[in-house]
Structure 1
Amino acid sequence: MEYVLLLLLLFGGLLAGTLGGLVGLGGGIVIVPLLFGIGAISHFDISPQIAVGTSMITVVITGLSSTLTYMKKKLVDYKSCLYLFIGSGPGGILGAWVNRYFNDDSFSFYFGLFMVIVAILLMVKNKIKPIGQPKKFTVSRHIVTPEGEQFTYGINLTLAIPIVFFVGFLSGLFGIGGGSLLVPAMIILFSFPPHIAIASSMMIVFLSAILSSITHISLGNVNWLFALLLLPGAWFGGKLGAFINSKLSSNALVIILRFVLIIVGIRLML
């Protein structure tokens, strides 16, 4: 059984890091269900608090690994990241504290429901017009991709700060990194190109996860043995996911993100 758990944690970290780096999730949607599964087949007591706290440690590593790779590819919008972190950081701390009040059943249901809602948002994203026009953006950006595509996007801080605070709150609450909601919000509300949204999301996820992790550590919500076994895979997976991201089209990224969220969400709700 010990060898089975070892392989599950090593492979789970790699899968979480790869998926997190690929679509900007942070990898928590793999780690949290994995830890619950390990708790079900072993003598380890994995509560929602332990699952989330341990997951947040791996989200920090996945976020760092992916961010460094995206920085080399010059896909990270640093100015937008810093503005958005102002809201997401405090939200992550609050979410980590509120997580204490979850039990196993309620956590699984709301976690799954959250994933399905995000998937639905992505399904209808092409039918939703951005709320703000470029002239209304507090921070306006214009880029030209290597393929010659031009994108104009930006951030309306009045709208963005409450949204990223809520995203940070969900990150600390569910241990997912927050990118699963942040990426669609950046695409739908502010017209971010998917590749830029994912790369920038990973930096925000990394910074917010640091604050959430510190809170979970202070509350004793981390299984350090599991965290240490998950970290190597999360590190290399984050780099692998970011590399694969650069080889896929924007449409392919959105399709992958949608598919993953629906499968995981429905499984947890059931």
Structure 2
Amino acid sequence: MTYVLLLLIGLGGGLIGSLVGLGGGIIIVPALLFFSGYFAILNDITPQTAVGTSLLVLIFIGLSSTLSYMKHKTVDYKSGFLFFAGSGPGGLVGAFLNRNLNVDGFSLYFGLFVILTSIILMFQSRIKPIKKETYPITRTFEGKDKTKWVYGYHPATAIILAFVVGLFSGLFGVGGGSLMVPAMIMLFAFPPHVAVATSMLMVFLSSIISSITHISLGNVDWLLALFLVPGAWIGAKLGSFINSKVKSKTVVSLLRIILLVVGIRMVYESIVG
């Protein structure tokens, strides 16, 4: 039963993470901590282990999603690698900061982060790009409906933003797409589908760096990862397929409600102990 649960957690994380570009850790980490008191195999889960294991799983979610989005030609490779120049070092810093968090502290900060994510998702559909006349780096994308998008950014701004996203990724075991995707749409005028696909490329690359750090710190439970990864891989494939076929407003609406409940619950538990 426990192994089926882990497969389902991985499936849910991969599906949601790939569908809206979140990465999946925002589902996996709280799920592992929540069920830690109900199943023997999860009894030794600490925030550090949950984060380290989640980041290892995110490598496969990011890879699976990126391979799928490559087929739809929505991945901006140059931007993805530039963002990684910031998110990679940020992930290292976050992984080391994670060592100093106890259960209550982690629940409080992670809960607040999840609530922030829910609020961002609430307004993401209303986000409008900040128009600028010129960008140091400019890209053009043509959608399936022949709509042309022109977007761009300043490299320094992109790297600094990606560093902050990577820091949260390494600290909380999330992909960071919850911050990166809205920022790419609002600040850099990315087309939504390109923002999600490129975010997953960044998640894949930065998760490798963060995972290596957490592995060296002994924060990865390999048995849990063994059962989480297959579900996450399949879920990521499903998420990218759904993303290319339908609008994900209904899923996002459901997700933000779930995240809000999870976030409030974690903050409450950290306060009452």
Give the drift of 1:144: 1.8
The question of whether the paired residues in 2 share the 8 Å contact of 1:84 and 1:164 is answered with yes
Secondary structure of the residue that 2:171 maps to in structure 1? Answer: helix
The reply to whether residue 13 of structure 1 matches residue 10 of structure 2 is yes
- TM alignment of 1:12-91, pairs within 5 A: 12-43=9-40, 44-91=43-90
Moved more, 91-100 or 155-164: 155-164
Which amino acid is the alignment partner of residue 216 of structure 2? Answer: S
The question of whether the paired residues in 2 share the 8 Å contact of 1:132 and 1:156 is answered with no
Change (3 A) 1:186 1:127: same
Identify which of 152, 155, 164 aligns with 1:154.
Answer: 152
Give the drift of 1:258: 3.9
The question of whether the paired residues in 2 share the 8 Å contact of 1:134 and 1:140 is answered with no
**2:237 corresponds to which residue?**
239
Please, what TM-score do these two structures have when normalized by structure 1?
0.92
Which amino acid is the alignment partner of residue 15 of structure 2? Answer: T
Give the drift of 1:107: 0.8
Change (3 A) 1:15 1:125: closer
Change (3 A) 1:257 1:143: farther
Give the drift of 1:249: 2.5
Which runs of structure 1 show a deviation greater than 6 angstroms over 4 or more consecutive aligned residues?
none
Give the drift of 1:126: 6.3
Secondary structure of the residue that 2:99 maps to in structure 1? Answer: helix
Identity %: 55
- TM alignment of 1:58-137, pairs within 5 A: 58-125=57-124, 130-131=129-130, 133-135=132-134, 137=135
**Gapped regions of structure 1 (runs ≥ 5):** none
Which amino acid is the alignment partner of residue 86 of structure 1? Answer: A
1:187 and 1:262 map into 2 onto residues whose CA distance is 22
1:223 and 1:12 map into 2 onto residues whose CA distance is 15
Give the drift of 1:38: 2.8
1:146 and 1:230 map into 2 onto residues whose CA distance is 34
The question of whether the paired residues in 1 share the 8 Å contact of 2:127 and 2:185 is answered with no
1:120-146 residue CA offsets vs partner (Å, 9 max, x unmatched): 2343456665456150x2211122211
The question of whether the paired residues in 2 share the 8 Å contact of 1:172 and 1:212 is answered with yes
Which amino acid is the alignment partner of residue 35 of structure 2? Answer: I
Secondary structure of the residue that 1:246 maps to in structure 2? Answer: helix
The question of whether the paired residues in 2 share the 8 Å contact of 1:245 and 1:253 is answered with no
1:259 and 1:147 map into 2 onto residues whose CA distance is 31
The question of whether the paired residues in 2 share the 8 Å contact of 1:19 and 1:241 is answered with yes
1:139-172 residue CA offsets vs partner (Å, 9 max, x unmatched): 1112221112222211222222111100000000
**Gapped regions of structure 2 (runs ≥ 5):** 269-273
Secondary structure of the residue that 1:205 maps to in structure 2? Answer: helix
1:56-115 residue CA offsets vs partner (Å, 9 max, x unmatched): 111001000000000011010111111111101000011011100011111112112112
Identify which of 197, 205, 208 aligns with 1:207.
Answer: 205
**1:223 corresponds to which residue?**
221
Which amino acid is the alignment partner of residue 10 of structure 1? Answer: L
Secondary structure of the residue that 2:197 maps to in structure 1? Answer: helix
1:243 and 1:200 map into 2 onto residues whose CA distance is 15
1:181-201 residue CA offsets vs partner (Å, 9 max, x unmatched): 111111111111111100000
Equivalent pairs, count = 266
Change (3 A) 1:132 1:87: farther
The question of whether the paired residues in 2 share the 8 Å contact of 1:56 and 1:213 is answered with yes
Give the drift of 1:180: 1.2
Secondary structure of the residue that 2:245 maps to in structure 1? Answer: coil
2:72 and 2:216 map into 1 onto residues whose CA distance is 36
Secondary structure of the residue that 1:101 maps to in structure 2? Answer: coil
The question of whether the paired residues in 2 share the 8 Å contact of 1:80 and 1:155 is answered with no
